Amino acid sequence: AKRTGGNRACFYNEIESDTRARERIRLEAELKTALLRDEIRIVFQPKIDCASMKVVGAEVLARWDHPERGMLAPGCFIDVAEESGLIAKLGDRVMELACLQGRAWLDRGRSMPIAVNVSIRQLEKPGFTARVLEILNFTGFPAELLQFEVTETVAMADPEGVSQTTKPLLEAGITFAIDDFGTGYSSLAHLQRLPFNTFKIDRSFISRLAADHHSRSIVQTIIAMAKSLNYEVVAEGVETEEQHVFLKEHGCTTAQGFLFARPMPADRFESWSRGFLQPLPSAADRGNTGR
């Protein structure tokens, strides 16, 4: 539901609703072609350790390099991809690109944890787990450096199913984050049955930090809950120094947002993060043999 926001460049969302159905069908056909023509790209947004200001990882975000409309944001095509079932192919491609890039960085001596967004429709499809393990295998990217971000609303719909699918992935070393935390319909009771180890606080709470004391309380509560569950906590959509200071002072471990950097292509991310600060040593540096 959140995906409708922030897509001003998205032609699809601006047209009238009766032409929408036709446009949707056209978009679906175009997306199918886009996958064949290899028009899917990925960009990286850094995650910053609040205390040390070091780069601790990157979130991978999909883009569609559309031949006529230019670079499209996920808000323009993820919903259609999910509804049409193309999300599996799209997701595989994103994961493959991400792991290839992560491996290339590793080969140049940079161990960069990478988080990929995964839709529940991907998790539900049989074969997901096998394909992920296959991608890890042929790219040689260590599972320990890979995280999946799953949006809370959908993640909570079938916790039993999710925990079945994710078991082999967890055993391989992949970690799971609940994306947009605080906006969904999760039952707190589900938390103990699901394989997550990270909350990503939804950016709507972060953007209201200065104006709204309720948001401040909610953010503090999520941080406290993460701490007592032994989860990591990432604040998304950090845009001001004030927000960053608040988060740091209240014990938030990691932050992400335009204050630090916008999502960028791999080469720019690489030079940006070199100029910023070196990544912290990760679990994979401490004894993982990689491949």
State both tokens at 128.
Answer: 């997901």
> Total residues at the site for ligand C2E (CB under 6 A)?
25
Which entry of ligand C2E, Mg ion, none binds 232, CB below 5 to 8 A by partner kind? none
Task: Give 209-244 as a DSSP string.
Answer: TTT-HHHHHHHHHHHHHHHHHT-EEEE----SHHHH
C-beta of residue 111 within 8 angstroms of C-beta of residue 141: no
Surface-to-core class of residue 275, CB atoms within 10 Å of its CB (0-12 exposed, 13-18 middle, 19+ buried): exposed
Determine if residue 98 is left, alpha or beta; phi over 0 gives left, psi from -120 to 50 gives alpha, anything else beta: alpha
C-beta of residue 80 within 8 angstroms of C-beta of residue 31: yes
Per-residue string for binding with ligand C2E, 115-134, x by CB under 6 A?
Answer: --xxx---------------
Residue 2 sits at φ, ψ, to 5 deg, of -65, -20
Per-residue string for binding with ligand C2E, 192-221, x by CB under 6 A?
Answer: -----------x------------------
Per-residue string for binding with Mg ion, 96-135, x by CB under 5 A?
Answer: ---------------------x------------------
Q: Which stretch binds Mg ion (CB under 5 A): 7-15, 47-55, 148-156, 163-171?
A: 148-156
Min separation Cβ 242 and ligand C2E, Å: 13
Q: Do you know the residue count of the chain?
A: 291
Which entry of ligand C2E, Mg ion, none binds 73, CB below 5 to 8 A by partner kind? ligand C2E
Is there binding between residue 182 and ligand C2E (CB under 6 A)? no
3-state secondary structure of 178: strand
Is there binding between residue 76 and ligand C2E (CB under 6 A)? no
Is there binding between residue 237 and ligand C2E (CB under 6 A)? yes
Residues at the interface with Mg ion (CB under 5 A): 117, 149, 179-180, 236
